[in-house]
Amino acid sequence: MHIAINAQLLNTEESYRGAGVSNYSQNLLTGLGKEPGGHRFTTFVSDPNFHAENVTLRRSRGFVAKPLARIAWEQTVLPLALKQMEADLVHGLVNVLPLATNLPGVVTVHDLSFVRMPEKLPPAKRFYLTRLCGASVAKARRVIAVSRQTADDLMDCFGVDAGKIEIVYNGVAENFHPGNAAETERFRISAGLPERFLLYLGTLEPRKNLARLIDGYARWRESDPAAQGVALVLAGGKGWYYDEIFQRVRDRGLEDAVHFPGFIPGPQLPHWYRAAAAFVYPSLFEGFGLPVAEAMACGTPVICSDAASLLEVAGDAVLIFPAAETDGLVQALRTLFAQPEVGAELAQRGLARSGRFTWERAAQETLAVYTAALL
């Protein structure tokens, strides 16, 4: 089986471009290359530094990294390239397939936030994603959804037949695991982090519900002595409409208590999770919610919202609060910091739960989707 893979959004640079769907692309391709069976993988990338064992890379020129150029390339140059190569199937790793090809296709859809929460995205990006993703899932032989939430949205929003949707969960990389306490403390000091802090890690954008997290944190500090000395660290690159998040911190007078370290490079992420007293993820909507799984794998207690995909990932291993209720967040914080045994229990449950999510499993299940698409 010869699979052509469009991975133009793969990026190895240490910036927000290397997170999210790029993380998925890198880990899945690496996992596919390690699978036995003699399959051939030819991957189209523009990143100059990515390598994966047993994966042939066809590198595009750097201009493809620009959004408009990439969109044009996917729908014009890529179909011509596919026509010239002897591939059995094409896989679009991020929401879109080349529409002008007769080659059977598989497309991975990560979330439908651009349909479910259109007000959170700029109009141009929303228009492109809605039109191209809708056409791609209609054309595809199989659609990979990264969660039951995304699968349900595909059926509800685009009318995709349930029979051609396959759920393949993301994985957690092997470097996410509990660490040595002394090493973690050395890292905390070297990174200039507070002695005790709550950690959020992800893009700074409205969909992540960070305004509510800031409000809840402020109310917790005002009403609970246990909150004294516990900082809030909001780590991640700036996304859409991030200004309101910084403004909310100023409005609440929390400039000295809330820290914005910016984007955290992938190799450093486990250290940040381990150093935190707890990980908080208040998102309104997610396709999968990988940071929750990563934090659990590091043995860090987790508080997260009741967004459907987060419940899929977290199970009974985290404290849940309603995404639209600040009171619920405040109560979860009170519970975790008033009862140390709760945090210890969550840490153990999280470790067990996170073991379900591996890139080896994701690669094996993706191969099975390819086979099903060619039947």
Averaged pLDDT for residues 199-214: 93
- Percent helix / strand / coil, the chain, rounded to 5: 50, 15, 35
Whole-structure pTM over 0.85, yes or no?
yes
Checking if the pLDDT of 120 tops 80, the result is: no
Checking if the pLDDT of 97 tops 90, the result is: yes
Q: Residues 274-328: pLDDT tens digits?
A: 999 999 999 999 999 999 999 999 999 999 999 999 999 999 999 999 999 999 9
Distance in angstroms (rounded) separating the CA atoms of residues 338 and 241: 35
The pLDDT score that the predictor gives to residue 18 is 63
Tallying the residues shown for the chain, one arrives at 375
Q: Residues 30-80: pLDDT tens digits?
A: 999 999 888 999 999 999 899 999 999 999 876 777 888 899 999 999 999
Averaged pLDDT for residues 167-179: 96
Amino acid at 134: G
State whether the Cα torsion 215-285-368-98 is positive or negative.
Answer: negative
Distance in angstroms (rounded) separating the CA atoms of residues 138 and 140: 6
Checking if the pLDDT of 117 tops 70, the result is: yes
Distance in angstroms (rounded) separating the CA atoms of residues 220 and 30: 43
Q: What angle do CA 298, 302, 308 make, to 5 degrees?
A: 115
pLDDT band at 17 (very low <50, low <70, confident <90, very high): low
Averaged pLDDT for residues 93-108: 96
Q: What angle do CA 362, 367, 373 make, to 5 degrees?
A: 125
The pLDDT score that the predictor gives to residue 296 is 98
State whether the Cα torsion 345-347-348-354 is positive or negative.
Answer: positive
Averaged pLDDT for residues 163-171: 97
Contact between 31 and 360 under an 8 Å Cβ cutoff? The reply is: yes
Report the percent of the chain where pLDDT is more than 90. Answer: 83
Distance in angstroms (rounded) separating the CA atoms of residues 32 and 53: 9
Amino acid at 22: S
Checking if the pLDDT of 240 tops 80, the result is: no
From the list 232, 231, 171, 81, the residue with the least C-alpha distance to 358 is 171
The pLDDT score that the predictor gives to residue 16 is 66
Q: Which residue has the tokens 């959170």?
A: 120
State whether the Cα torsion 127-115-79-102 is positive or negative.
Answer: negative
Summary mean pLDDT of the chain = 93
Q: Please list, residue by residue across 235-251, b when 16 or more beta carbons sit within 10 angstroms of its beta carbon and e when fewer do.
A: bbbbbeebeebbebbee
β-pair partners for 42: 4, 56
Q: Residues 345-362: pLDDT tens digits?
A: 999 999 999 999 999 999
From the list 298, 347, 289, the residue with the least C-alpha distance to 170 is 289
The pLDDT score that the predictor gives to residue 349 is 97
Averaged pLDDT for residues 217-222: 96
The pLDDT score that the predictor gives to residue 356 is 95
pLDDT band at 123 (very low <50, low <70, confident <90, very high): confident
Checking if the pLDDT of 14 tops 90, the result is: no
